[in-house]
Structure 1
Amino acid sequence: MDWHPYAHALAGRVTHPGSRWRDAVANIPRHHLVPAWWTWNDRWKVRRGPDDEAAWLDAAYSDRTLVTKIGTLHADHAEPGDEPTGRPTSSSTLPTLVLQMYRHARIGEKDTVLDVGVGSGYGAALLCHLLGEDQVISIDVDNYVTTVAARRLADIGYHPRIAPLDATGTIPWAADRIVAMVAVRPIPASWLTALNPGGRLVTTITNTSLIVSAVKTADGGAVGTVERDWAIFMKTRTGGDYPPGLTGLVATARTAEGEHVAMTHYPVLDIEEDAWELRSMLEVTCPGIEHSYHEDASTRTAVMVHPDGSWARAVQVDHARPVVHQAGPHRLWDELDRVRDYWLQHGSLPLYGARVRITPDGTIHLQRGRWKATITG
């Protein structure tokens, strides 16, 4: 199977001619690192590369994320007919996003890089090709993921240090750069400890599209910025799967009569898919909200729920004003409306481009003009 033309074509799509990453993308057999993956069409279905080599090459060398694990079931272990439920827990991130994060890290040729979230090992392979394997450390909470990634990387000639490790716990190595393909909230204090003086970290904040890049300071913290860019990654976990979500409260919110019922001026929208900036601002101001959205020919319904028991349901029929039901300690839809009010009043939200100060315990302080916010655990 000649995969080289496909890898070269991918390199042409995701890098410019002068990019130092172009040769790496053109020469790494991504298909070897992802021999099986999950696809979604109303349900999860496993795809195995050797069963259809043309589809395998097309998927592996397209610029898209390949989900490799749903809940606790890795695609490598799936049987025909398996239809797992739950959320994706591991993947091979789309190449442009991997490169995007590495570029924000400003990686020098002599830098040691800690790659957080090994996934398929593709990001580690890119780093090894550019820097040499001795300068690459890759970690993941999943023992199988690290084991199989190390084996497949060795098959193609790369031997970075790979370890099964909780990224939020102690990091036993030092690095000049830390780049995370998982989202955190707040910044793990262990990252700041592991970062060499003057080192740089790049990560995203859980349930937001915010990319934070920051340089370590003499006090053990870091300073930097929220990039004028966006990305969303799976959040860190400590076990084989994420804890159960608020599905029971979502079911209640879909049908219950609210303690407070009113009409709102703003249209109902799918905040997770279509409004990343709004979602990010809401997560900063009122963290922990889970969202659900449904749309049919004439009706759009958005549900918001919170661990404290608060919920909101907004229903809009055609172009009529939405009716909002809310209950619990917080009025969640009112929180969203306040974010949208801010946007209209100021012409934008203050997140992207905000200055970042991270204290040694990992607390994130944001500021842009007179706007300030703090992100804790």
Structure 2
Amino acid sequence: MTEARPDLDLDEMVAELRPEFVGRLTAEGKLNAPEWRAAVEGVPRHECTPRFYVPSDAPGITTYVPFTRELVGTEPWLRRVYSDETLITQFDGRDLDWSDPQPIRGATPTSSSTMPSLVVQMLDALNADDGTTVTEYGTGTGYSTALMCHRLGAANVTSVETDPGVTARARDALDRCGYAPRLVVGNGLTGADRRVPAERTIATMGVRGIPWAWVRETEPGGLIVATLRGWLRSLGLVRLTVEDGRHATGRFIAADPAFMMARQQEAPRNFGMLPGDDAGKVRETPHGPGLLRMPDSGFVAQLAMPNARTFDMTADDGTVQTYVLDAANDSFAVLSRDGAGTGWKVREGGPVSLWAEVEHFLALWHAAGSPAATAFGMSVEPDCQRVWLDDPEDGPSWRLPVMPGA
């Protein structure tokens, strides 16, 4: 951790660092719209992130270390705030004890101030003008909310957050920034209880499918910008046009945005009963588990197995096996090296051949030239959500899970 330094003048440091920050993002091509540049320069991010955690460089299990002005000094704290970095403000859905902050290990981040370049990318994708009305799902620290207030006017911004404590801190931060948007505490998957649909909807958390309430509460012709996630990985950033209040369609505009999953859609904590060593049928496969971790093939695998989770476990003979388990129907695939150690074998069981599904859709994807995520689109209807490749009518398509309460 950076050693604490004598206190410096906060206002002078901020006046110096914010333009530098905007200049870096602009030079890197991450902040192109002049209106959003003005918002990033005008909004004091440090008011939204007075205390946070960042990952350390220590080996082994990820360790997060506390970062506050009091712990490290004004300049190091502000330089971290005005960097293109995600700042963690909550773990495991519980408030942090800042009376004696300690390093944290083995915990799951559940709230943060997201990397500003990603926030701005999403805001720019809204194609919003002065006075555009917007609903945001995932208030978090309030930083992205403040950017929209600066650009669009606070009266036009509604933000929904599931955690009352997070909302209270965001409200205080927004008040310090001089903004008073409408803040709602509740399950964002059920909407924002809007009387009049918004012209734009944006979600700063990952969802397994687009909640129907978001379509219903976005006016026809309006846009929804959100991140689709699965339990294996992030799928990507999608932008949809609401056509008539009952349909929305659009395309992926970026891959792998790092947003946390909506709490109501997190994977079950318990993997359930693992398959026995003799369960299932064994066969050779041309694909090993590495494809799950690759950007583009992992995207296809997530679509092929929407309810799957995976982990590695060392067998009694010392070999590493990769388990892929379907939480919806108890199907499984266990991947391991073949006897020669040069290829792969899979042991499958259950009502669905999970790895055969992956192989089938990988073959279709390869036949299409192995395109990136931005070649895929999405269609949302009341009873069906599909991701498709190239063409919504004729291309290969995958159904997304429909989540209860969404």
TM-score for both structures, normalised by structure 2: 0.80
Larger CA deviation: 72-81 vs 169-178: 72-81
Q: 2 CA distance for matches of 1:282 and 1:203?
A: 20
Q: In the alignment, what sits opposite 1:120? A: 141
2:363 to 314, 325, 341: 341
Q: Secondary structure at the match of 2:120?
A: helix
Q: Which has the larger radius of gyration?
A: 2
Q: 1 CA distance for matches of 2:313 and 2:374?
A: 29
- Relative distance call for 1:363 and 1:130 in structure 2 (3 A) is same
Q: CA deviation at 1:109?
A: 1.4
Larger CA deviation: 197-206 vs 7-16: 7-16
Q: Mapping of 1:195-274 within 5 angstroms?
A: 195-207=218-230, 208-227=234-253, 229-238=255-264, 242=266, 244-249=268-273, 252=274, 256-269=277-290, 271=292, 274=293
Q: CA deviation at 1:222?
A: 2.0
Residue 339 of structure 2 corresponds to residue 324 of structure 1 = no
TM-score for both structures, normalised by structure 1: 0.85
Q: 2 CA distance for matches of 1:39 and 1:262?
A: 44
- Relative distance call for 1:82 and 1:72 in structure 2 (3 A) is farther
Is the CA contact (8 Å cut-off) linking 2:323 and 2:334 kept in structure 1?
yes
Is the CA contact (8 Å cut-off) linking 1:46 and 1:75 kept in structure 2?
no
Q: Secondary structure at the match of 2:263?
A: coil
Letter in 2 for 1:131: L
Residue 212 of structure 2 corresponds to residue 186 of structure 1 = no
Letter in 2 for 1:216: V
User: How many residues of Structure 1 are paired with residues of Structure 2 in the alignment?
Assistant: 368
Residue by residue over 1:324-349, the C-alpha shift from the partner in whole angstroms, topping out at 9 and shown as x without a partner, is 33333333333333333333333215
Larger CA deviation: 21-30 vs 94-103: 21-30
- Relative distance call for 1:44 and 1:198 in structure 2 (3 A) is same
Q: Secondary structure at the match of 2:64?
A: strand
Is the CA contact (8 Å cut-off) linking 1:270 and 1:293 kept in structure 2?
no
Larger CA deviation: 183-192 vs 108-117: 183-192
Q: CA deviation at 1:362?
A: 6.7
Q: 2 CA distance for matches of 1:166 and 1:128?
A: 22
Residue 95 of structure 2 corresponds to residue 74 of structure 1 = yes
Q: 1 CA distance for matches of 2:349 and 2:33?
A: 56
Is the CA contact (8 Å cut-off) linking 1:176 and 1:195 kept in structure 2?
yes
Q: Secondary structure at the match of 2:347?
A: strand
Q: CA deviation at 1:160?
A: 1.4
Q: CA deviation at 1:230?
A: 4.5
Is the CA contact (8 Å cut-off) linking 1:257 and 1:325 kept in structure 2?
no
1:175 to 195, 198, 204: 198
Measured on the aligned residues, the alpha-carbon RMSD in Å equals 3.0
2:303 to 273, 279, 284: 284
Q: Mapping of 1:27-38 within 5 angstroms?
A: 27-38=42-53
Letter in 1 for 2:157: V
Is the CA contact (8 Å cut-off) linking 1:183 and 1:204 kept in structure 2?
yes
Q: Mapping of 1:286-305 within 5 angstroms?
A: 286-293=305-312, 301-305=321-325
Q: 1 CA distance for matches of 2:76 and 2:36?
A: 25
Q: Secondary structure at the match of 2:235?
A: coil
Q: CA deviation at 1:77?
A: 5.0
Residue 38 of structure 2 corresponds to residue 23 of structure 1 = yes
- Relative distance call for 1:89 and 1:3 in structure 2 (3 A) is same
Q: 2 CA distance for matches of 1:374 and 1:268?
A: 23
Q: Secondary structure at the match of 2:189?
A: coil
Q: CA deviation at 1:20?
A: 2.0
Residue 386 of structure 2 corresponds to residue 354 of structure 1 = no
Q: CA deviation at 1:171?
A: 2.2
1:315 to 318, 332, 336: 336
Q: In the alignment, what sits opposite 2:400? A: 375
- Relative distance call for 1:141 and 1:111 in structure 2 (3 A) is same
Letter in 1 for 2:214: W
Letter in 2 for 1:87: T
Q: Secondary structure at the match of 1:337?
A: helix
Residue 326 of structure 2 corresponds to residue 306 of structure 1 = yes
Q: In the alignment, what sits opposite 1:107? A: 128
Is the CA contact (8 Å cut-off) linking 1:183 and 1:205 kept in structure 2?
yes
* Structure 2 gap ranges (5+): 1-9
Residue by residue over 1:95-135, the C-alpha shift from the partner in whole angstroms, topping out at 9 and shown as x without a partner, is 11111111221111120111111111110111111122111
Is the CA contact (8 Å cut-off) linking 1:182 and 1:236 kept in structure 2?
yes
Letter in 1 for 2:364: Y
